[in-house]
Structure 1
Amino acid sequence: MNEKFTDYADTGYSIAEQKAAQYFASLREQFKEKTYVSTLIEDFQLWKKNHIHRRSWLSFLSRGKRKPDSQDYHRYLGWLNQTGKLDDYLDRSVSYLYMRDLGQALDSPNTQLRIKRMVADIRNQMILPGSTSSEDQSDFMSFTGIYRWAQKEGVETATIWVIDKLKQVSAHLPKEMNPEQAQRKLIKIIIGVILHVMEEMDDDVPPVERSKRIGEAIRLGYSYGLTYPFIDDLLDSSVLTDQEKEQYSHMIRTAILNRVVPELGEWSGENMPFIRFVHSELKEAFEYIRGYQREDIQDAFFEQSFVFFHSQELDRMKDLSNSEYSNEELFIPIILKSSSSRLIVRSVISAPADDGFDQRTFFYGLYNQLADDFADMFDDMKAGAVTPYTYYLKYRGQRTDLINPFELYWTVISHLIHTVYRSDPKTREVILDRAINGLKRCKERVGVEKYKEIMEIFASGQPAFNLVVQQMVQKADDVDFFDKLLRDQLLLNLKNSKKEKVEFRDTIQKVRDQINKQLLIAKPDGTPEMKELLIDAANYSLTGDGKRIRPILTWVMGVNEYGLDESAIVPLLRSLEYMHTASLIFDDLPSQDNASTRRGRATLHEVYNSSTAELTGLFLIQKSIEEQASLHSFDAKAVLALMQYSAQKAEDICMGQAMDLNSKGKALTLEQLNMICFYKTGIAFEASLVMPAILAQIKESEILSLKKFAYHAGIAFQIKDDLLDLEGDHHLLGKPIGQDVENNNSTFVAILGADGARKEMWEHYCLAMEALKEIPRNIAFLKHLLNYMINRNR
């Protein structure tokens, strides 16, 4: 260990510990004297004027204005807007964010102005003028909404980077660590760091500088936020053995004290691949933060990091079976960790010193921690974790000296309102809103009987005060918060997305297996030798490791969305794969792309010869037409319309390939490349969507939206192909990489560069997603297909 830094860290921790002890002693005295009781009763008398309203009998007859469940995100926001409550809702939500995350005093005129601006910005993004329907409201929690914000701020590259990083983290986290919660925490911290950076910028900061700072904030937020899943949550989980936890903790402590991440060293067991990934990501994050910071900030950053880590370690080492922890041992570490976790953010972004912020944040942290521990106490109890609540639950009958954490929570609230924030009315309003909201959510979550049991344990010591509080919990309105709504919605989205992904993969596997069984072309007895040769060649190409995206898409749209008979559309599925395979055979020929491998093995002309390959391609096209003519279960006019449409699209695909071949060695414009891409790739996606729609006789307006989706999805797919040709793994791709450069092809990467190609891919991703909103049905499969297209590795 570096002795200089070790001594500095120990000194910093001692100073912070003394400050925390003084704060706790002050709270303990207020707790002992019960001064919070009369003070907060008076506060509630003032507060309830805005929150307890007499309802007229007419209000019960107005169904349109009944409050919907807040978990119904769009309807709830629409209801707030209709009833004129939205502005107050956003004001208290943003005010709370400024107080909690940004450490601001709400009585500051500058802070009040900034809050008004943010409220207006959020309102404009959430609610379109005159709109209350969910389809019309901006879903800014989606990737589309995030990327549109990134374009507005000029931070597309950083946003693409962090989206990719979040997906990697989620993919690597063991299920025991709850990947959805880990993603939520990471996103929350990234947003918090961005808000800190934006708060530091004046209105006169040039746009280029603003984009630079926000882009850095995204990377800093991820880098700092990574410590939660990969240090805090990992050490709290059961993923690592005790020996691994000790080894891992030592490595983290060494990194903080030496200011350099040590090598991973010896590590054995089944966790090795995961730990290697964690170490790599943390090292990259650590070095990014350290490289960003000014030298005069680094001491504060590492000192606060040590305070946070060491206080967490002290807390983590506690054993619930130990009945002898003092109140100081229970509360001082959580004062330190709750305050230092927020103080670190300022040093992460190299913000200037702000004594007012440091003081407010130090005192505020315990309030937030006690609220969180109250909400999590039963999960913590089940896990055997020591918190003030779990310890009080277990030992309150044996230890009369134990401080009731729920009463201390109200003591902290009184201290914050009247000492830290100088009895500011707005602060009182927001803090009491939050406190009552937390209890309402608890009551709803655990049920009335369990809630009564909890209150009998924690609130029975002050019956007069508890009566006031429970009246507010029962009767008070307008205490909901936007961040809670976002949290619930984000978790719901993540859970639904996870479920839909499983369904998506299951559907793909199921339909792919069905299609593979139907594809092989039979050789009846008496088949001429030369035709047998063509059938063998066709079957060789058809049995390669193809993704079958096009017929799968047709099956999903036809069967799941349009209700077509599963067996009746089998000829159409074969037709699409025959046509697609034929196009690949032609693409691979020496006279065209001259590819040596396709679908993980040698191309057809390498196995046979070019002439046989050409004839096999023609043979498959004719088989495709034959299959379409076999759609006997459908209206004859619809089948003829489908065949006519199919022939037109085949012509267009041929034209696209001709355009592509003619472009070799030429510098193309983006517009020309988009056109080639659409004719080569987008049309095939379009056909997969439109053909079942034609058979189902779907309205033309919906077909137009499907075509728009296919156009942009096809280009996004092709851009990803170009990126994979540059960066992919040829073992996963099943074909060599670098062929585009070797063949002198114009690609999106060649025209735009890798970063520019990624931006273009995301632009088409957004346009495709926006096209889906025009379709009068929620087709989750298409959303996940599009996500698959831009995230695939093959």
Structure 2
Amino acid sequence: MVEQQYQTAEKKAHTYFQALVKQLEEPRFTANLKEDLQAYQRLKKSSFLNYDNIALTQDQKFLQQLTKKGMLDDYLHRSISYIYLRDLGRDIASPTMQRRIKSVTEDVKAYLHQYSNQELFSLEKLYRLAEKESLEATFFWLMKKLRHVSSLIPEGLDKVHAQRKLIKIIAGVLMHEIEELQEETSQEVRAKRLDKAVRIGYCYGLTYPFIDDLLDATVLSAQEKSQFAALIRHTLRTGEITPFSGWDGDNKEIVEPIYRELTDAFIYLEENQQKDNLDNFYQNAYLFFHAQEIDRNKNLDNPDYTNEELYIPIIMKSSSSRMIVRSFQLFSANDQVEEHMFYYGIYNQLADDLADIDQDLASNSVTPYTYFLKYRHKRPDLINPFAMYWSVISYLIHDVYKDDENTRQIILDRATNGLKRMRKRLGKHQYKGLMQTFSINTSFDLFLQKVVERTKNVAFFDKLLRDKMVETLQQQEKEKAKFRQTLEGAKDVINQLLIVKKTDQKAIINHSIMDAANYSLQGDAKRLRPIMTWVMATEGFGLPGKDIIPLLKAIEYMHTASLIFDDLPSQDNASIRRGRPTLHEKYNSAVAELTALWMTQKAVQEQTKLRKYEADKILDLISYSTRMTQDMCVGQIMDLEAKGKELSVDELNKLCLYKTGIGFEASLMMPAIVAGAQAEVTEAIKKFTYHAGIAFQIKDDLLDLEGDSTVLGKQAGIDSQNNSSTFVTVLGEEQAKKEMWKHYCDAIEALENFPHNIPFLKQLMHYIVQREK
């Protein structure tokens, strides 16, 4: 059945190809294009707006400058129009669609103004959007899935590209769903439909990293690729999933979990689609996969590919990949949408292949451009792919969109923008050489390059978003790696510093209390607080690392003392801490109590060693730290008194402030005091640590409910045993997660008022809400 449908689609693609070739052969082809470009230029010149006066930095500064100069509306309207044209297949000339585009433009502008001084992409913004649409549970599911996908992507694949593509597909499915929602749709129904769209987008989006990218990469052997492709092909042809067994190759441990995730995704798509949709999906997915396979298996050393063999698979895969997104749900009748998407696909593919020509040449990939470059002198029959690109543009303008002036403007803006970006990336000399190689005819070539040189105001928001997404994902990967390195590296150093040396004591004999102190300091401790202190002192205030060692020790001694008290039989009666028996289990309660008291005083003693700083600051530091110790004691009493009682969220927040938030606050505030920080900075620190502390505690409560003692390093389920009120018992698991993410967002926002950008603290918040122990 799917083979017949493939043949039908192949005939349609062939008809389109012949129409494009016929255009190329017409004597007036380039003359008609010049007329289009001349009309386009006249409209561009009539605009009083000029982006040339603005540095195209591709970031928030660019958007802010556009706003100041009154250019943002024009920029966004063009960009939104193009998305409706390309991704949604809509007729942007219709009055209804013009009103819709204007409305969406206003929504995007309001969003940009709301976050004018922040990153375009962040977990905080994503959660705020999910919260607005009542999609918090969807957000939690997606975050868990994205982490899982990241863990499965093998070395040799571009994780950033995979994440970007997956997010783009999810966004694409969402856009289609949103456009089908009626204004009168209830919030409940809207949330259910958008939740389903996110899950469908994820399930479909997996095909890019786990099928397309994996088969393109060199991770698997040729034999393994053949096996894997056969599994996928069988499923798409029959609708039946072949069990993963009898794998012949060295990479079973890579492929098996990937195949398992793809299987789960396929089952979800199958179970959550109406039959018409599912058949549609199978058809388009098979078309896309098979056309991709044909292209993937081409060899650049083969000199005999025909023009049809080069272009028809491109038409098929580029159109079917776009149609897959539309096949997921039943849409309102609009035959033009699918036709538009069919004809537009090859434009995108040829534009992308032109932009990626260097990478394709480096990887020996067969595209119309790479093949033409290699064989143009030997094969005069080969179609110039750049000419074909402009034939597609002409066909879209005149045959598909019927000479609509606004549509022509958008299409040519996009083409001009693509060439401008390419010239900037390659440099004028290399760009000129490439354009000469792809010359259509001298007159048209010269005119086109004048248009590219002189035409202004062709930047697109989706390109900025793409660049910023890639930049953000790459930056996050770097920051995550540095965060992990800091945690591990600093933890090892701090562990050595914390050891209490008996020779440091002036007692006549070395008492076992010091052995008990050292025991309590050892084990699988995270050392978050002293690491936070070190980062804040060195990166936030520029204090020399060696000078603030006593401060690191003081922070950890205070924290460890609080844990010893917390674990006592008279309090939480915990038997495991940091992956080993608690101190009172190792010794006894009396030794534990006295060791904890001894360590609080040891913390004060360490602060007196900060002799390089002003005496008044050290006095303020000691005053603050002792007050914090008192407050932690108050918090522990509050915790004990709360056992068996049902607390409100406000009471839990207050309890968290005293039990956890104060420890976080001290970690950042103590170096701030030593550095003489301004009041607005200390206020920002208090706000950040308040929300970070609550988020940390909620995550602890969630882990106590669902965690594993061997992973946690402490006893799971102890809150339930002690009949303690927690965010989970008071709010329930789902609402507790919402509360945690709200505090995460508030903490991230507080970081804007810190003295410097400190990526560690942002990554710390990611770690807090996503950790497993």
TM-score (normalizing by structure 2): 0.97
- Contact 2:539/2:758 (<8 A) preserved: no
Q: Which amino acid letter does the alignment assign opposite residue 380 of structure 1?
A: D
Partner in structure 2 of residue 154 of structure 1: 134
Q: CA 1:725 to 1:350, structure 2 compared with 1: closer, same or farther past 3 Å?
A: farther
Total equivalences in the alignment: 773
Distance 2:55 2:148 in 1: 36
Moved more, 470-479 or 530-539: 530-539
Structure 1 position 555, deviation (Å): 0.8
- Contact 1:224/1:348 (<8 A) preserved: no
Distance 2:87 2:380 in 1: 36
Of 15, 20, 33, which residue of structure 2 is paired with 1:22? 15
- Contact 1:554/1:689 (<8 A) preserved: yes
Partner in structure 1 of residue 386 of structure 2: 406
Distance 1:179 1:158 in 2: 22
Distance 2:251 2:645 in 1: 50
Q: After superposition, where does 1:132-171 map in structure 2 within 5 Å?
A: 136-137=116-117, 139-171=119-151
Question: What SS class does the counterpart of residue 55 from structure 2 fall into?
Answer: coil
Of 313, 319, 322, which residue of structure 2 is paired with 1:342? 322
1:516 aligned to 2:495? yes
RMSD over aligned CA atoms reads: 1.9
| Cα distance per residue 1:202-227 (max 9 Å; x no partner) | 21111211121112111111111111
| Cα distance per residue 1:404-458 (max 9 Å; x no partner) | 1110010010000100011111110000000010000000111111101110111
Q: After superposition, where does 1:37-76 map in structure 2 within 5 Å?
A: 37-52=30-45, 66-71=53-58, 73-76=59-62
Distance 2:47 2:204 in 1: 47
| Cα distance per residue 1:244-303 (max 9 Å; x no partner) | 111111111122123233222133666333323312221222122222211222211111
Structure 1 position 694, deviation (Å): 0.4
1:653 aligned to 2:632? yes
- Contact 1:159/1:218 (<8 A) preserved: no
Partner in structure 1 of residue 277 of structure 2: 297
Partner in structure 1 of residue 185 of structure 2: 205
Listed as ranges, the gaps of 5+ residues in structure 2 are none
Q: Which amino acid letter does the alignment assign opposite residue 13 of structure 1?
A: Y
Distance 2:233 2:726 in 1: 48
Q: After superposition, where does 1:181-330 map in structure 2 within 5 Å?
A: 181-267=161-247, 271-330=251-310
Distance 2:189 2:93 in 1: 30
Structure 1 position 193, deviation (Å): 0.9
| Cα distance per residue 1:688-733 (max 9 Å; x no partner) | 0100000111011210110000000011111111222222233322
Structure 1 position 756, deviation (Å): 1.5
- Contact 2:224/2:249 (<8 A) preserved: no
- Contact 2:180/2:332 (<8 A) preserved: no
- Contact 1:220/1:349 (<8 A) preserved: no
1:584 aligned to 2:563? yes
Distance 1:37 1:160 in 2: 53
1:97 aligned to 2:90? no
Question: What SS class does the counterpart of residue 524 from structure 1 fall into?
Answer: helix
Q: Which amino acid letter does the alignment assign opposite residue 689 of structure 2?
A: A
Of 67, 73, 88, which residue of structure 1 is paired with 2:74? 88
Q: CA 1:293 to 1:242, structure 2 compared with 1: closer, same or farther past 3 Å?
A: same
- Contact 1:154/1:211 (<8 A) preserved: yes
1:177 aligned to 2:157? yes
Q: Which amino acid letter does the alignment assign opposite residue 571 of structure 2?
A: Q
1:782 aligned to 2:761? yes
Distance 1:254 1:263 in 2: 11
Q: After superposition, where does 1:557-572 map in structure 2 within 5 Å?
A: 557-572=536-551
1:117 aligned to 2:117? no
Distance 2:246 2:493 in 1: 47
Question: What SS class does the counterpart of residue 753 from structure 2 fall into?
Answer: coil
Partner in structure 2 of residue 688 of structure 1: 667
Question: What SS class does the counterpart of residue 304 from structure 2 fall into?
Answer: coil
Q: After superposition, where does 1:599-748 map in structure 2 within 5 Å?
A: 599-748=578-727
| Cα distance per residue 1:593-628 (max 9 Å; x no partner) | 111111111111111111111111111111111112
Structure 1 position 239, deviation (Å): 1.0
Distance 2:722 2:516 in 1: 26
Q: Which amino acid letter does the alignment assign opposite residue 679 of structure 1?
A: Y
Of 475, 481, 485, which residue of structure 2 is paired with 1:506? 485
Partner in structure 2 of residue 432 of structure 1: 412
| Cα distance per residue 1:14-60 (max 9 Å; x no partner) | 1111111111111111112254312211111111123348999xx9x
Q: Which amino acid letter does the alignment assign opposite residue 720 of structure 1?
A: K
Q: Which amino acid letter does the alignment assign opposite residue 682 of structure 1?
A: G
Moved more, 568-577 or 331-340: 568-577
Question: What SS class does the counterpart of residue 335 from structure 1 fall into?
Answer: helix
Q: CA 1:746 to 1:267, structure 2 compared with 1: closer, same or farther past 3 Å?
A: farther
Structure 1 position 350, deviation (Å): 3.3
- Contact 1:70/1:485 (<8 A) preserved: no
1:443 aligned to 2:443? no
Of 718, 735, 741, which residue of structure 2 is paired with 1:762? 741
Structure 1 position 505, deviation (Å): 2.3
Question: What SS class does the counterpart of residue 701 from structure 2 fall into?
Answer: helix
Distance 1:379 1:324 in 2: 23
Structure 1 position 530, deviation (Å): 7.7
Distance 2:301 2:761 in 1: 52
Structure 1 position 739, deviation (Å): 2.1
Q: CA 1:562 to 1:525, structure 2 compared with 1: closer, same or farther past 3 Å?
A: closer
Q: Which amino acid letter does the alignment assign opposite residue 641 of structure 1?
A: D
- Contact 2:60/2:119 (<8 A) preserved: no
Structure 1 position 537, deviation (Å): 0.7
Question: What SS class does the counterpart of residue 19 from structure 1 fall into?
Answer: helix
Question: What SS class does the counterpart of residue 567 from structure 1 fall into?
Answer: helix
Partner in structure 2 of residue 132 of structure 1: none
Q: Which amino acid letter does the alignment assign opposite residue 513 of structure 2?
A: L
Partner in structure 2 of residue 131 of structure 1: none
Q: CA 1:173 to 1:581, structure 2 compared with 1: closer, same or farther past 3 Å?
A: same
1:596 aligned to 2:575? yes
Distance 2:352 2:660 in 1: 51
Q: Which amino acid letter does the alignment assign opposite residue 54 of structure 2?
A: K
Distance 1:356 1:637 in 2: 76
Q: Which amino acid letter does the alignment assign opposite residue 79 of structure 1?
A: Q
TM-score (normalizing by structure 1): 0.94
- Contact 2:298/2:366 (<8 A) preserved: yes
Distance 1:350 1:275 in 2: 33
Q: CA 1:351 to 1:54, structure 2 compared with 1: closer, same or farther past 3 Å?
A: closer
Distance 1:542 1:268 in 2: 50
| Cα distance per residue 1:465-496 (max 9 Å; x no partner) | 11111001111100010000011111111122
Question: What SS class does the counterpart of residue 348 from structure 1 fall into?
Answer: coil
Of 75, 81, 106, which residue of structure 1 is paired with 2:92? 106
Q: CA 1:518 to 1:269, structure 2 compared with 1: closer, same or farther past 3 Å?
A: farther
Distance 1:215 1:419 in 2: 38
- Contact 1:585/1:613 (<8 A) preserved: yes
Listed as ranges, the gaps of 5+ residues in structure 1 are 1-7, 129-134
Q: Which amino acid letter does the alignment assign opposite residue 603 of structure 1?
A: T
Q: CA 1:205 to 1:525, structure 2 compared with 1: closer, same or farther past 3 Å?
A: closer
